[in-house]
Amino acid sequence: MSITKRWFINVASIFFAILIAVSVGVFFLIRAYYYGAAEMQVKELSYGEVSSIFALYGAKNSGFEEAARQYVDNYQNKDKLAVWTINSKGRVIVSSNGFTIREAVDMPDYNEAISNEEHSAMWVGKLPSGEKIMAYTCAYYYENGTLAGAIRYMVSMDAVDEQLSVFAALIIIVSLFCFAALFLSGMVFVRSIVNPVKDIGATAKKIAGGDLNASIDSYPYNDEIGELCNTINDMADKLSESDRLKNDFISTVSHELRTPLTAIKGWGETLQQIGDSDPGMTSRGMDIIISESTRLNEMVEELLDFSRMSGGRMKLNKEKTDYLAELDEVVFAFRDRTLREGIEVNYNVPADPAPGMADPSRLRQVFINILDNAVKYSEQGGKINVSAQISTEYLEITIADSGVGIAPEDLPHVKEKFYKANNTIRGSGIGLAVCDEIIRLHDGQLDIDSVYGQGTTVRVILPLDVNSNSKENTENE
């Protein structure tokens, strides 16, 4: 069922029911007020000297008709009420308008007045002529208890009913107006939600179908729907960006794999052609084949690590490790390469041990990656400062280079998978993402700071653990 239908059923129908109930209630209140006022008026005007006139006859146990005639003759409010006197047999004897009423008249109020304890009764009903009246009858008794007769006061209710019909019409018009106003404003409101939601659905379908450039056109309000539109647009942008990164990644990795493979294949063919004739060339070719195979192997390992990390399957074999000993080893292993590339390395770490529960090979992998980047993105004559600080709970390792640096707009993204800020230098864009994950699994932190054109500083913070010395395996959930 559509939102519009649901709104109509849930809100509009309830409002309609309440409106009808209120209208009917108001109408009956007004009616009760008018009828109450009429009743009060009849009772008020009926109060007269009839009792005192009748007192003279009451004791004699006769003469009601005489007293009643006298009362009707002198009655002051004949213009407002009609008055009848009725004898003990229920026949009308005198009427205030002077007409004689011969036929028997049905008077429920009279019948009730002569039978109840108050000796009076009120009735609203129609006369045989069709006129609607309110009648009030007071019965009188002689002192010996026999019924003397009754006086009946009557007022026409036609004018009141006419007035009430006008009110009813007014109430219906106001109710319809209220309902129309609610209906229209409700429809405008519901549409203002339903239409953008339809747009959102259509755009989401396009995105799901692969059109990552689809976006929701401007929505004018800054409300929940606006937020949803922005989120969907954001999501589409991110999907499109991640799609672009993935495509870049595939082409970079293919390229990175092809370069060593070409070298290996080329040298393999050359060695096959020259046979044993040139031992110098053979040895050079073998060196290149071995180093390119090593590079291939590293790349494949990096890709496998990345896939393990993405699938949450990266496994750490933690044991009590001296972080700085691992760092020492890696920096030492880089000496030849940095010397060859004319890069100066300043190594300045405390002599104290820095123990912690860690996977030493994963830690080395992180240090290798960071140093590899520092060398890769430095030019000849560049400097790399490696330093460390031990506090009571943490070890902070800083690897700062004076290389090309990272542009401010790229800096927040370099730890993301596939992100490459520099496409001119080889690399898959996943090294830092893997490092960040490994350090996170060690409960540490990896921060990168950079000034574009001046250099980059990578800070690794690792928790020190002086108590534990047992081995443990931790799986990344």
Please, which residue, 107 or 404, has the CB nearer to ligand ADP?
404
If binding means CB under 6 A, how many residues of this protein chain bind ligand ADP? Answer: 22
Q: Which of residues 413-442 bind ligand ADP (CB under 6 A)?
A: 414, 419-422, 427-433
Q: How many CB atoms lie within 10 A of CB 95?
A: 16
* Residue number with CB closer to ligand ADP (324 or 406): 406
- Looking at beta carbons only, is 136 or 249 nearer to ligand ADP? 249
Distance CA 146, CA 345 (A): 134
Contact assessment for residue 456 and residue 403, using Cβ atoms and an 8 Å cutoff: yes
Sheet of strand 315-322: strand arrangement: 355-358, 315-322, 472-475
- Distance set, CA 242 to CA 249, 275, 301 (Å): 10, 49, 23
One symbol per residue from 272 to 301: x for binding ligand ADP (CB under 6 A), - otherwise; what is it?
Answer: ------------------------------
| DSSP reduced 3-state for 83 | strand
| Shortest reach from residue 228's CB to ligand ADP, in Å | 33
Give the range of 24-32, 67-75, 105-113, 369-377 binding ligand ADP by CB under 6 A. 369-377
CB 254, min distance to ligand ADP, A: 15
Determine the Cα angle at 366 with ends 466 and 471, to 5°. 40
Rank residues 202 and 425 by Cβ distance to ligand ADP and give the closer one: 425
Smallest distance from ligand ADP to CB 401, Å: 5
Structure tokens at 121: 């009764």
Q: Which stretch binds ligand ADP (CB under 6 A): 61-69, 85-93, 343-351, 370-378?
A: 370-378
Contact between 324 and 349 under an 8 Å Cβ cutoff? The reply is: yes
Closest to ligand ADP by CB, 68 vs 309, is 309
Cβ closer to ligand ADP: 81 or 343? Answer: 343
Q: Which of 38, 330, 374, 441 binds ligand ADP (CB under 6 A)?
A: 374
Closest to ligand ADP by CB, 449 vs 465, is 449
Residue window 375-404: x/- pattern of binding to ligand ADP, with contact defined by CB under 6 A = --x-----------------------x-xx
Our separate counts of H helices and E strands in the chain read 12, 13
CB of 437 to ligand ADP, least distance (A): 11
Under the binding rule (CB under 6 A), the answer on residue 367 touching ligand ADP is no
Query: Could you tell me the smallest distance in angstroms from the CB atom of residue 433 to ligand ADP?
Result: 6
Tokens of 273: 């052609």
Distance CA 86, CA 150 (A): 5
At CB < 8 A and 24+ separation, what contacts does 164-172 make?
164/27, 164/30, 164/31, 164/34, 167/27, 167/30, 168/27, 171/23, 171/26, 171/27, 172/23
Which residues, numbered 57-116, are part of the site for ligand ADP (CB under 6 A)? none
Q: Which stretch binds ligand ADP (CB under 6 A): 77-85, 241-249, 311-319, 371-379?
A: 371-379
Q: Which two tokens stand for residue 356?
A: 């912690």
Residue among 328, 323, 306, 347 nearest 432 (CA):
306
- Choice from 46, 215, 373, 398 touching ligand ADP (CB under 6 A): 373
Q: Name beta bridge partners: 462.
A: 395
DSSP string over 236-250:
HHHHHHHHHHHHHHH
Contact criterion met (CB below 8 Å) for 140 and 148: yes
Residue placing its CB nearer to ligand ADP in the complex, 50 or 430: 430
CB nearer to ligand ADP: give 260 or 431. 431
Which residues here bind ligand ADP, judged by CB under 6 A? 369, 373-374, 377, 401, 403-406, 414, 419-422, 427-433, 456
